[in-house]
Amino acid sequence: MINKNEKVLITGITGMVGSHLADYLMKYTGWEIHGMCRWRSPQENVAHLIPFVNQKKRLFFHYGDLCDFISIQNVINKVRPDYVFHLAAQSYPQTSFTSPINTFDTNINGTENLLEALRKQSDIDPWIHVCSSSEIFGRVSKDKLPIDEECSFHPASPYAISKVGTDLIARFHAEAYKQKILTTRMFTHTGPRRGDVFAESSFAKQIAMIERGYIDPFIKVGNLNSLRTFSDVRDAVRAYYLLLTKDPIIGEYYNIGGSYSCTIGEMLDFLLSLSKVKNIKIVQERERLRPIDADLQVPNCSKFKNHTMWEPQIDFKNTMKDLLNYWRDKVKKNTNHLVR
Residues 144 and 42 in one domain: yes
Residues 151 and 184 in one domain: yes
Residues 162 and 207 in one domain: no
Note down the domain range covering 213: 199-227+260-295+315-333
Q: Provide the pairing of β-strand 189-190 with 59-63.
A: unpaired
Question: To the nearest whole number, what is the mean pLDDT of the chain?
Answer: 96
Q: Is the pLDDT of residue 248 over 90?
A: yes
Residues 127 and 184 in one domain: yes
Name the residue among 276, 300, 314, 85 with its Cα closest to residue 192.
314
Beta pairing partners, 34: 9, 60
Residues 274 and 142 in one domain: no
What CATH number is associated with residue 271? 3.90.25.10
Note whether residue 1 is domain-resident.
no
Q: How far is CA 152 from CA 137, 147, 149, in A?
A: 6, 9, 9
Note whether residue 153 is domain-resident.
yes
Amino acid 99: pLDDT: 97
Residues 153 and 205 in one domain: no
Residues 107 and 124 in one domain: yes
Residues 206 and 109 in one domain: no
Residues 159 and 207 in one domain: no
User: Which is more confidently placed, 258 or 333?
Assistant: 258
When divided into structural domains, the chain yields a total of 2
Asked if 217 and 281 touch (Cβ cutoff 8 Å), the reply is yes
Instruction: State the average pLDDT over residues 320-336.
Output: 93
pLDDT tens-digit readout, 194-219: 999 999 999 999 999 999 999 999 99
Residues 56 and 103 in one domain: yes
Q: Note the pTM of the prediction, 2 decimals.
A: 0.97
Note whether residue 83 is domain-resident.
yes
Amino acid 40: pLDDT: 87
Of all helices (H) and strands (E), which one includes residue 266? Answer: helix 264-273
What CATH number is associated with residue 52? 3.40.50.720
Instruction: Please give the DSSP secondary-structure letter assigned to residue 296.
Output: B
Q: For the sheet with 83-86, list strands across it.
A: 59-63, 32-37, 7-11, 83-86, 127-131, 180-186, 253-256
Instruction: State the average pLDDT over residues 71-99.
Output: 96
Note whether residue 340 is domain-resident.
no
Residues 277 and 151 in one domain: no
Instruction: State the average pLDDT over residues 39-46.
Output: 93
Q: How far is CA 250 from CA 155, 224, 227, 305, 324, in A?
A: 25, 39, 32, 17, 39
Note whether residue 82 is domain-resident.
yes
Amino acid 1: pLDDT: 44
Amino acid 2: pLDDT: 53
Q: Is the pLDDT of residue 336 over 80?
A: no
Note whether residue 157 is domain-resident.
yes
Instruction: State the average pLDDT over residues 124-144.
Output: 97
Note whether residue 320 is domain-resident.
yes
**Count of C-beta atoms within a 10 Å radius of residue 152:** 9
Residues 207 and 164 in one domain: no
